[in-house]
Structure 1
Amino acid sequence: MKKEQLAGYLLEEVLGYLLESSGYRLVSEADDPASLVSRSNGLCVRGRGAEHQAEALGDLDIAVPFSLPIRLFVEAKCVARPTPIGVVRNAHGVVHDVNEFTHSSIATSRTLRQVQYRYSVFSTGGFTKDAQSFAVAHQISLIDLSSSVWSGLAKSLLDAASAALRLNLGEEGNVATVRRALRESLRSTDSVEYEDDQDLAPGAEAMQSISRYSVGRWARDCAENVLRGKTGKNDLLLGFVDAPFVLALKPEDIDRFDEHAKLFGDDFAVSIRFGRRSPTGGDWVIRPIDDPDAFALSFPIPEAIEQIVLAEDPERQRRAAQRAKRSLLSTITVYRNGRAVRLRYDRTPAEPSPVGDSMLREHLEGRPLDDFAAAGHPLMPHVWPREAIDSLLDRLHRDHHVLERVIRRAAELGGTVSRDDVYSIAEFSPDRTLRGFTRPTDRIRDEMVGEFSLPATALYPLDVHYRNGSRVLSYRVPPEFVERLHGRGADTA
């Protein structure tokens, strides 16, 4: 077995763990023996024409109006290249076959649970265009994990797969045992160690020559690496919309989202804006109307869907972007810890022009810069104009003076300010975390892009540098900030 294939299986286990807070519960044969059966290669689902292997299969413990309960396949690809159409074709064939079995057998079986199967494919390498188009046509959910937010997790799982292969755990008969060991380790702080007389799994005979302790130790180490790198950015929420796909929402800080839901209830208004590079690496960004700095949820939409809901002509683009948000994305329902939280899109006068929202990914290298130049600004990709720097600092001075002082200090030091300097400037207590510290500067930068006072490719004002993937080490400002505040232009600041 190849390393990437085994890493994909491990990613399925990690996703199952991350999705538990969204009401996703992995199922076994005992949950539905009429439809599910355990074989030597793991859990299988009965279809009308064949059985289909499905180790990562779960029920969504949520009530969807006018719909049967949802049972979701999770398939994951831990790869560097875009996932091709063949994977999506297979997904369509599987979900069609198992739904046909359910519908044709329900009249003759009193024990068969009535569920609606859906299929989702996650890929760390994204998807080819024909795969996206096929998925849109056949209602297969594609979740792109190719952003930098997920690169650390992908590397950890590839390393874990390499370690498993060195221990001879990658043989076909061992995969079910390896998956179960990781599944248990992710949900336990203790090492999973197998006793000689313990029933490992179907196909355990293949494990006779392998130390049980090696399996448990490997699973423990893998789980610890995953959980150690897990920050608020690696949490994952499922968003359900009035469209044939599921959104994978990445919270900037899951605790802040939970706090906001507690304060404002299960139904509140949000803005949805398009941004090429959000703090959490997604394409579209959701923020609450009443307090835009309270939380941010980012999510990508496959390019094929963007091309359907958006148009190339700028004027049509404006109308289509608004139509997409008012219809397809008018209400996004998130299930969090047993609660349904409804995020209602609300177009407010304070929200920037939808022109900035509707920029397609493939146009971001040209059209936003053209629009920026048409607004009377020099065409300088990635660069903050002096007027934009001054405007940002003025806004921060009024509402977020600590961030203004941090930026000025970073420029004074040549571009980088340390974690200790930030605590000193802000007079934070040692137990204060820096999660979400740059949220106001990120939001203002995005607003300035929407107002065409800043090119869409301009860097964020404070770029965060981490140690070991989770602890903030320092913040860096773009070089033009150093030039403006402490260079040749400083005398006119």
Structure 2
Amino acid sequence: MANIAQIRGALLEEAVLFLLKNIDYEPYDQTLLSPNQLQYMRAGHSGLEIRGRGTWHQLDAFALWKHSPAFMYPLHIIVEAKCYAPNSPVCVDVPRNIVGVLKDISENYFSYEQKENHFHGPRYNYAAAIFSTSGFTKGAVEYAVAHQVFLIQYENVPVIQPLIDAIRRFDKYCISYSTKETISSARSYFRRCLAGFEVNETQPTELTEHGKELLSGSVTESCRAIKGSYFGMLQGQWPLHLLRREPLPPDAFSTDVVYCQIKGNNSEGWKFTPINSKRGDQDWFELEFSLPKFIAELVDSKWDNPIAVANLKQQHFSFIDLSGVIGGIRRSVRLQLDRNWIDEYISKQYIRN
């Protein structure tokens, strides 16, 4: 039976998939699988299922990166999202579960035929990311980092807060009855709303009129209101979801490197802004983000890592490699950051806690 927390998580997953599409990830829809995908995917009773080495796994939030770099298999990403109550961080059991799934599907090899010979080999690289509205426990961070599961935190990110608030308003009065299909029905209905498809007012029967009105109204509207969605890697290791209400201005990225500083606090949110421009300039912008305290400490402790220094070419600066659509063109750019920002971030995290 589905509970409200599970449905909220599923709705957040759909919102994340919608924002991932802005950088050309393509979510899979169990109702639209092609014949060649049926070897390793199928439509299960409660959603999309992916074949692992040992068994099938239900992975409703699963997407393909449509642009493969040279010397890499195409990338598949598993998305797990948790929309818990405030001050209820994600615990270690969530990354522990996703690590088992990731390992099993990563070890599933497929047959290739060449004349009369058959051999086995991988077709994809796999990654997993957990998105949380209320942070992560220290144990969850330590386990996820050790097993290369990426963590994205939305705590105290103002631009996405209306979406989180709308999802949290999804309660017991939004469902008519609870079955195994309730989660997938709510997910499918919300996905169609986000895509702009016309929805049948009589379906799904598991949702009340109030529930359908909430999903097609404030939840969809607050998600679509996020016009600027960019994913970045801090120092090539730590993921960030960088957000703003409007797309980034093309004038800010006449070159592929932009020098930035950090502004903000834990009550108003954290933002990266360009050093060489001010509010009102055509090349000025803010990018909102949140970084778990424990990951911030790990970043700080590994600042002088020789590999990171070699990549930086400067010992006193760090960077975020950012991907997204800027000026209608898919870009990969670098935000160059003063080292002092991580010290300020950590110190204010301790003041808060």
Q: TM-score, normalised by structure 2?
A: 0.79
Residues 199-220 of structure 1, C-alpha deviation per residue, up to 9 Å, x if partnerless? xxxxxxxx7xx48xx6687435
**1:274 shift after superposition:** 3.6
What is the match of residue 59 of structure 1? 64
Question: What stretches of structure 2 of length at least 5 have no aligned partner?
Answer: none
| Contact 1:121–1:142, Cα closer than 8 Å, also in 2 | yes
Separation of aligned partners in 2, 1:152 and 1:25: 25
Matched-pair contact (CA < 8 Å) for 2:130–2:152: yes
Q: Does 1:336 align with 2:325?
A: yes
Partner SS state of residue 272, structure 2: strand
Deviations, residues 36-73 of structure 1 (Å, cap 9, x unaligned)? 11111110111111211111111122233432211111
SS in 2 for 1:247: strand
Instruction: Specify the alignment match of 1:15 in structure 2.
Output: 16
- Superposed displacement of residue 12, structure 1: 1.0
**In structure 2, do the counterparts of structure 1 residues 279 and 107 end up closer, same or farther at CA, with 3 Å as the change threshold?**
farther
Q: What is aligned with 1:5?
A: 6
1:254 aligns with 2:212: no
Shift of 1:88: 0.6
Larger relative contact order, structure 1 or 2 (CA cutoff 8 Å, min sep 6): 2
Aligned ranges for residues 396-407 of structure 1 at < 5 Å?
Answer: none
Equivalent-residue separation in structure 2 for 1:246 and 1:366 (angstroms): 21
Which residue of 2 is the match for residue 379 of structure 1? none
User: Is 1:37 matched up with 2:42?
Assistant: yes
Say if 1:193 and 1:215, in contact at 8 Å, map to a contact too.
no
Partner of 1:299: 289
Query: 1:271 pairs with 243, 256, 259, which one?
Result: 259
Summarize the Cα distance change of 1:228–1:27 in structure 2 as closer, same or farther, 3 Å threshold.
closer
**Aligned equivalent of 1:124, options 101, 111, 133:** 133
Give the corresponding residue for 1:25: 26
Give how far 1:106 is off. Answer: 4.7
**Number of aligned pairs?**
332
Counterpart residue identity of residue 130, structure 1: G
SS at match of 1:344: strand
Instruction: Give 1:115 shift.
Output: 1.5
Mark the CA change 1:68 to 1:279 in structure 2 (over 3 Å): closer, same or farther: farther
Distance 2:216 2:119 in 1: 40
> Larger Cα Rg: Structure 1 or Structure 2?
1
Q: Which residue of structure 2 aligns with residue 94 of structure 1?
A: 101
Whole-angstrom distance in 2 between the partners of 1:231 and 1:33: 32
Deviates more, 1:216-225 or 1:121-130: 216-225
| C-alpha contact 2:17 2:61 (8 A) present in aligned 1 | yes
SS of 2:212's equivalent?
helix
Partner SS, residue 171 of structure 1: coil
Q: Which structure has more helix as a fraction of its residues? A: 1
Amino acid at match of 1:301: L
Question: Residue 14 of structure 2 contacts residue 191 of structure 2 at CA under 8 Å; is this kept in 1?
Answer: yes
Task: Supply the RMSD in Å over aligned alpha carbons.
Answer: 3.7
What amino acid sits opposite 2:144 in the alignment? A
Q: Which runs of 5+ in 1 are unaligned?
A: 196-206, 348-352, 368-456, 458-493
The 5-angstrom pairing of residues 346-425 of structure 1 reads 346=336, 354-355=339-340, 357-359=341-343, 361-364=345-348
More strand by share: 2
Q: CA deviation at 1:273?
A: 2.8
Deviations 1:402-436 (A, max 9, x none): xxxxxxxxxxxxxxxxxxxxxxxxxxxxxxxxxxx
Kept in 1, the 8 Å contact 2:15–2:223? The answer is no
**How many Å separate the matches in 2 of 1:365 and 1:41?**
40
Give the distance between the partners of 2:75 and 2:234, measured in 1 at CA: 14
Distance in 2 between the 1:86 and 1:324 partners? 36
Question: Does residue 171 of structure 1 match 2:158?
Answer: no
Quote how far apart the aligned CAs of 1:151 are: 3.3
